[in-house]
Amino acid sequence: MNEQGLRSTIIKTCLAMNASGLNQGMAGNVSVRFGDGLLITPSAMPYDQMKPEDIVLLHMGGTAQGLHTPSSEWRFHRDILAARPDINAVVHTHATYATMLALLAKPIPAVHYMVTVAGGKDIRCCPYATFGSQELSDYVLEALDERFACLMAHHGMIACGASLDKALWLAREVETLAHQYWGALQIGTPKTLTDTQMDQVLKKMKTCKYGRES
């Protein structure tokens, strides 16, 4: 996809996040790899007012090019894409159920086999740090080690993928899992699948590339 197409797709992704209830207002942010850098949503601009020219080009060194300043969360977007060549798109949302778990600093354990679509046996929750800080970015990279999604304590969630479509798909899956886990916690303590069971699912997921195929 060319640059104009990527800029338009970022906006469509943002609008889809809010329309689906994955995000609210101007919260959250979206980026996609482009050349030696990335394209990212601008800071403090309503998604329904964005035009392709409002999307910011950010170089890996941290310098921005465009009409606006990049999202205040640009550091973890930049750092994820720099550290993970298997990831081309990053979606950050304040999805309700994922954020409720994050308020308790709760990861999503192996309560459902679909947890594995995020890359491992659980979906980690990284420690709290001020939004936009390098400290938060460092925590996020640790939580995403061998993973494609994580929660951020007292903040929200991040989902990544080979494309914006895949990142958004995974964000929806993480929010669904968070909702299911939250609901189960209202009844009792859900039983988790064993490591052996999760290893079997992970192996099968790699074969079918469930939800993350190109």
pLDDT tens column, 145-178: 999 999 999 999 999 999 999 999 999 999 999 9
Structural domain for 135, as ranges: 3-208
Which residues make Cβ contacts (< 8 Å) with residue 144, sequence separation at least 6?
Answer: 80, 84, 124, 150, 158, 160
Residue 214: inside a domain:
no
C-alpha 154, offset from chain centre? 15
Catalytic positions, please? 73
User: In the prediction, which pLDDT does 95 show?
Assistant: 98
Whether the pLDDT of residue 59 is over 80: the answer is: yes
Residue 213: inside a domain:
no
Using pLDDT thresholds of 50, 70 and 90, give the confidence band for residue 45.
very high
Mean pLDDT computed over 180-193: 97
Question: What's the pTM value of the predicted model, to 2 decimals?
Answer: 0.94
Residue 41: inside a domain:
yes
Length of the chain: 214
Residue 200: inside a domain:
yes
Distance (Å, whole) CA 193 – CA 201: 10
Domain holding 40: CATH number? 3.40.225.10
Residue 81: inside a domain:
yes
Query: Is 123 within 8 Å of 102 (Cβ atoms)?
Result: no
User: In the prediction, which pLDDT does 214 show?
Assistant: 40
Q: What is the number of other CB atoms lying within 10 angstroms of the CB of residue 185? A: 15
Residue 190: inside a domain:
yes
Residue 130: inside a domain:
yes
Using pLDDT thresholds of 50, 70 and 90, give the confidence band for residue 209.
low
How many domains in the chain? Answer: 1
